[in-house]
Amino acid sequence: MKGILCAVIFIGIASGQSRVPIPATPLGHAYKGVPASAQIHIEFFIDLLCPDSKAAFPVLKQVGDHYGNSVRISTIQFPLPYHRNAFLAAMGVQVVHNMTNGNVNKVYEWMGLIFDNMDQFGGSVNYNVPENKTVGDFAALAGGMGLSTSHFADLLVNDGSMNMATRVDWKYGCTRGIAGTPWFIVNGVLVTADERWGFADWKQLLDGILVQEKNNE
C-alpha cells in the first residue's frame, strides 16, 4: 500500500507541476528590492493569517536589514486552507502590488498590517462574517495605507489576475514540497528553519554560506 500511495503522490505532484504557469518574472516580493544577483536567496513562504508566519516575519526583515544586497529575501504567499480568509489576505498582496506599481515597501506594509490585525480575520471570531464584509475590512486597512478603498475592493473581488497570481504562488510552493508556514528555501535548498529561529540562528547559517563562497574565490 505504501508503494502504491507513493506512486500516486508522485504522479499527482508531477501532474501538478505541468500545470503551473511559468511567470514572466521570478515569484515573490523581494524585501527592500534586493536584486536577483544577491549571493544568497531566501524564499520565505508565509500565510498572512498564520501565527507562526507572524513570528518569523520581523526576524526575516531583521536579516534583510543586516545583510543588505548580499541576501535577497523573496516572500511568497502560501495561504493554508484551514486559515479562514488567508487566500483573500494573500490576494491583497497582489492588489497592493498592482495599485502601487510594484512598490515593495507598500507590499510589506500590507503584510505587516494583516499580521497586526490577524485576530480580526481568522478563527471563530470571523466564522459568521459574510465575505463582502471581510472584503470591506481589508479595503479599510488599504485605505489606511493611502490607497483607494473602492479600487482595492474592486480588484480583490473582480480582477481575475489577482486571483491567478495568488494561485501561481501557491502552486509553486506545492512543487517545492511546501507543506506549512513559515517554510524556507535557501539557494534552492529546503532548510529546517522555523518560527523559533531568531536572528542569531539565521546569522550563523548565512555567515557560513558567505564564508564558504569567499574561500572558494
Band (110; pLDDT cuts 50, 70, 90): very high
* Confidence bin at 4 (pLDDT 50/70/90): very low
Q: Flag whether pLDDT at 9 surpasses 80.
A: no
Q: What is the mean pLDDT of residues 176-187?
A: 96
Cα gap 188→70, rounded to integer Å = 16
Show Cβ contacts of residue 85 under 8 Å, excluding neighbours closer than 6 positions. 49, 121, 122, 126, 134
Confidence of residue 216 (pLDDT cuts 50, 70, 90): low
Least Cα distance to 142 among 88, 181, 78, 182 occurs for 88
Cell of 14: 508531477
Residue pLDDT, tens place only, 59-99: 999 999 999 999 999 999 999 999 999 999 999 999 999 99
CATH T-level fold of 27-216? Glutaredoxin (3.40.30)
pLDDT at 6 over 50: no
The reported pTM is: 0.87
Residue 98's Cβ-count burial label (10 Å; 0-12, 13-18, 19+) is middle
pLDDT for 213: 62
Residue 10 in this model has a pLDDT that exceeds 50: no
C-alpha cell read off for 107: 507590499
pLDDT, one tens digit per residue, over 16-72 is 445 777 888 889 999 999 999 999 999 999 999 999 999 999 999 999 999 999 999
Q: Which residue would you say has higher pLDDT here, 97 or 217?
A: 97
Average pLDDT over the chain reads 89
Alpha-carbon distances, residue 68 vs 30, 60, 64, 72, 125 (angstroms): 11, 12, 6, 8, 39
Average pLDDT over residues 165-172: 96
